[in-house]
Structure 1
Amino acid sequence: MPKTRIACWNVQKGQHLAAAADYLNAWRPDVWLAQEILPAHQALFELATAMRCYPASPTLNSPNDNAVFIREGGVFDVSAEYLHPSAPWHPPADLAVRSANTDSLSASNSISLISVHLCGFSASTRLQEADWCTTLAAPGQLAIIGGSWNSYPADEGPDSDLWKHLLSEDNPARDPSLYMGRTYAENCVRHTDDRPDRIMTDAGFIDVAQFAHQSLDRLHAISPTVGHQDKDRQGGRWRVDRVYISARLAPAILDVEIGEVQTVGNLSDHLPILITLDTEKTAALMRARPDTESAANAKAP
């Protein structure tokens, strides 16, 4: 069975670059949704991974960060690249791709491949960034959106008792900045910020890790992605990095893995998410029209 591999990984800018490239080469992704990619390191990763880098638009706020890497001659051909220089913080890297090797009679619809790194210090900015992602839920569109969300999945973040502990004067790792950055104010009370996740799922996107956990029995898929290097800095170990996929593409998901701490935990303060799709099923879902697919599903027993 031909397989399409998609990696999502914040490589921690400027750290252990050669080893990170070696790790990616060992897994050999077709797509890498990358964060914290400095402009000076794009060529290094292109050469080391034999993938082409499509960086996000540089801005005064963010001269670096997000990129989408595509394996040339692989399963996808890039059909369009979109830049977002007016984004409120780190602009997303945004590509439209089609299945490679399709003739005009079987031309596929495109998939948007998006790498994001939501604002770490402002919940209101994250809200705006997540709202933008929902534009990719328009009828007929397909998208895979992954990155560092700097917020929590619904009902998984720190509770009020943990926040109190993290803010205690007796806590040597006390960090009011983390508290302010990862919570939002409502009715004079601060709440753990899980709104970007709720926005994405309300828009119809699927958290691939949750899907793999619930539908494929991949218990490890919902492992934390941060906090393995410095638990105090993150207030614990949490699933801050996530990948969302259009619900129509969910039947193509074969596996979701989180990079093991013992193998890759020393290379970055974020662990990679490694997704495996059925290539043929993905191509078929890309070719299918939404109305045709809905009708077929309605007739299915």
Structure 2
Amino acid sequence: MKTVKMLNWNVEKGVNPQLAVAWMAKQNADLICQQEVQPGQLGSLADHLGMDGYGATIRPGSTNDNAIFVKKDGPLVFAEEYAHHWAPWHAPANITVRLRNLDGSLSPRHISCVSGHACYWSADIRRTEAQWCSTLAKPGWLAVHFWDWNSYRAGEGSPWEGYTDHAFVTNRTYFEGGRRHTDDRPDRELTAAKYIEMGRYAAAHLDQPDAMGPTAGYRKHHGRPTTLCCVDRGYLSPELAPALVRFTVCDTPHLRRISDHLPLLAEYSFDTLQDILHRRIEVYRPALPQRHTVTTSPDYASATTHLSPDRAERSTTVPDQQKLTDVPQLQRHDKLTGQRRKAFIFVAARAYDDGHSVRDISERCLRSTAFVRTILHEGGVVLRARGSGTRGRDGHPRR
């Protein structure tokens, strides 16, 4: 059976990169999520792995950053990369990928992939980070999350009395109802958003009880619990769960020496992924304004021949302003809302379909390229890959 492999590993402060890379390269993974990547390591790691590397937004404070690596010419094809300046501690690395079909074409749907490292010193921040993950859990969206959560599955975790490392106890618990509780809130937030934890799924549905095994706690620290724990976990959208065929906590003495965390290896059925990523789905997109029929502009009369099918069905009406040269007039207000926003969505989408780039539209409307991409995504536009002009992509899953 042809499979797609995703690997996750928190390599302790990047101190054993050569050993870690040598092991990861042998796994022949199609996508790797890594935590605690150190400054200057991303490029060399990517080169040694023979993969393309995508690092997270650099935030003040810790230098233990997150990264995602994608195999060159592999079954997963990079679509878009996202910066997360909102992050209170470690920003997650976040890209979207499409599946390369056997004929070389790309799947119409994409998967949002996230490599994250939850804040070690604040249960409240960890909860916020988990709540952010729910933004990728909307109906019809597909996501895979690999994180060092620095917290526990619901129902797991140590009793916290009697330990002398009070900082660690405080970090791994939260205060409520007059006492401290094991922090399992990220897990509960993710499952509330209907994400499926891969270890649980493999144990329950794939007859792989070891998939629930511990990933950390092998290094001994004075004053801390000595019990092993699973703080590194992967979650995926429920629609993707049937594609998971194997989930492994990779545990050997050699791996324990390299890092204080163990790697996770998830394998997915290529055929099942292909079926999922080619399904037609209902996804919310804003309606276009119902104002004037297309009768006066030859350039726009044939708009439906250039639009994607879902937008073509809505393109029998257009706003008053029909041309890209009219975009600045639409942008003279500080806020673009209501009918004006719908009008701009149509104009920008038509301009993009006619071959104008995001930067062209940005320069003409005096708005940022990020704003233009948001507008295009709201209109259901499939963006062209940078530098190709032909290969499609959605970008961030805002539709």
TM-score, normalised with respect to structure 2 = 0.68
Classify the secondary structure of the residue corresponding to 2:79: strand
Correspondence for 2:201 among 194, 211, 214: 211
Moved more, 181-190 or 146-155: 181-190
Q: Does the 8 A contact of 1:227 with 1:233 survive in 2?
A: no
Using CA pairs below 8 Å that are at least 6 residues apart, which structure has the higher relative contact order?
1
Classify the secondary structure of the residue corresponding to 1:32: strand
Higher strand share goes to which structure? 1
**1:256 offset after TM fit, Å?**
0.6
Matched, 1:200 2:190: yes
| 1:171 counterpart residue number | none
Pairs within 5 Å for 1:65-84: 65-84=65-84
Matched, 1:281 2:272: yes
Could you say if the C-alpha distance between residues 290 and 117 of structure 1 is closer, same or farther in structure 2, counting changes exceeding 3 Å? same
- The whole-number CA distance in structure 2 between the counterparts of 1:121 and 1:242 is 18
Moved more, 234-243 or 108-117: 234-243
Could you say if the C-alpha distance between residues 43 and 186 of structure 1 is closer, same or farther in structure 2, counting changes exceeding 3 Å? same
**1:61 offset after TM fit, Å?**
2.6
Pairs within 5 Å for 1:71-220: 71-101=71-101, 107-159=107-159, 163-166=160-163, 174-220=164-210
**1:188 offset after TM fit, Å?**
2.0
* Amino acid across the alignment from 1:32: I
Could you say if the C-alpha distance between residues 233 and 243 of structure 1 is closer, same or farther in structure 2, counting changes exceeding 3 Å? farther
Which structure: larger Rg? 2
Q: Does the 8 A contact of 1:4 with 1:278 survive in 2?
A: yes
**1:44 offset after TM fit, Å?**
2.1
Matched, 1:54 2:61: no
CA RMSD of aligned residues (A): 1.9
Could you say if the C-alpha distance between residues 107 and 221 of structure 1 is closer, same or farther in structure 2, counting changes exceeding 3 Å? closer
Correspondence for 2:246 among 245, 255, 278: 255
Task: Name stretches of at least 5 consecutive residues in structure 2 with no aligned partner.
Answer: 284-399
Q: Deviations over 1:240-287 (max 9, x none)?
A: 000001010111111011111323111000000011111121121111
Could you say if the C-alpha distance between residues 64 and 201 of structure 1 is closer, same or farther in structure 2, counting changes exceeding 3 Å? same
Classify the secondary structure of the residue corresponding to 2:77: strand
Could you say if the C-alpha distance between residues 57 and 156 of structure 1 is closer, same or farther in structure 2, counting changes exceeding 3 Å? same
Q: Does the 8 A contact of 1:108 with 1:283 survive in 2?
A: no
Q: Deviations over 1:76-131 (max 9, x none)?
A: 11111000022111001000111124779974211000001000010111111110
- The whole-number CA distance in structure 1 between the counterparts of 2:99 and 2:240 is 14
- The whole-number CA distance in structure 2 between the counterparts of 1:289 and 1:196 is 31
* Amino acid across the alignment from 2:273: T
Matched, 1:264 2:255: yes
- The whole-number CA distance in structure 2 between the counterparts of 1:188 and 1:35 is 34
Q: Does the 8 A contact of 1:62 with 1:91 survive in 2?
A: no
Classify the secondary structure of the residue corresponding to 1:165: coil
> What percentage of residue pairs aligned between the two structures are identical?
36
Classify the secondary structure of the residue corresponding to 2:23: helix
Could you say if the C-alpha distance between residues 57 and 102 of structure 1 is closer, same or farther in structure 2, counting changes exceeding 3 Å? farther
TM-score, normalised with respect to structure 1 = 0.89
Task: Name stretches of at least 5 consecutive residues in structure 1 with no aligned partner.
Answer: 167-173, 293-301
